Every structure is written in structure tokens, then in C-alpha cells.
């Protein structure tokens, strides 16, 4: 069970990271 939870959190973290990085890149381009 703990192993499954770890993999699930990693997947969710990756999804969140993708969502966060997309707007950050847009802001970086605007700043340039």
C-alpha cells in the first residue's frame, strides 16, 4: 500500500508541476 501511494503522489506531483510550469513559462516570456 505505501508503495502504491508513493507512485500515485509522484504522478500527481508531475501533473501539478506541468500545470505550474506552463503559466511560469508564459510569464517569463512576457518579462523578456
pLDDT tens digits, one per residue of 16-29: 777 777 777 777 67
DSSP state of 32: -
Q: Is 7 helix (H, G, I), strand (E, B) or coil?
A: helix
* Percent of the chain surpassing pLDDT 90: 0
CA atoms of 2 and 14, how far apart (whole Å): 18
Domains of the chain, residue spans? 1-32
CA–CA gap between residue 7 and residue 23 (Å, rounded): 25
This prediction has a pTM of 0.34
8: enclosing H helix or E strand: helix 2-31
Amino acid at each position: 500500500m505505501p508503495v502504491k501511494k508513493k507512485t500515485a503522489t509522484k504522478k500527481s506531483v508531475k501533473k501539478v508541476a506541468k500545470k505550474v510550469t506552463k503559466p511560469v513559462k508564459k510569464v517569463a516570456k512576457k518579462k523578456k
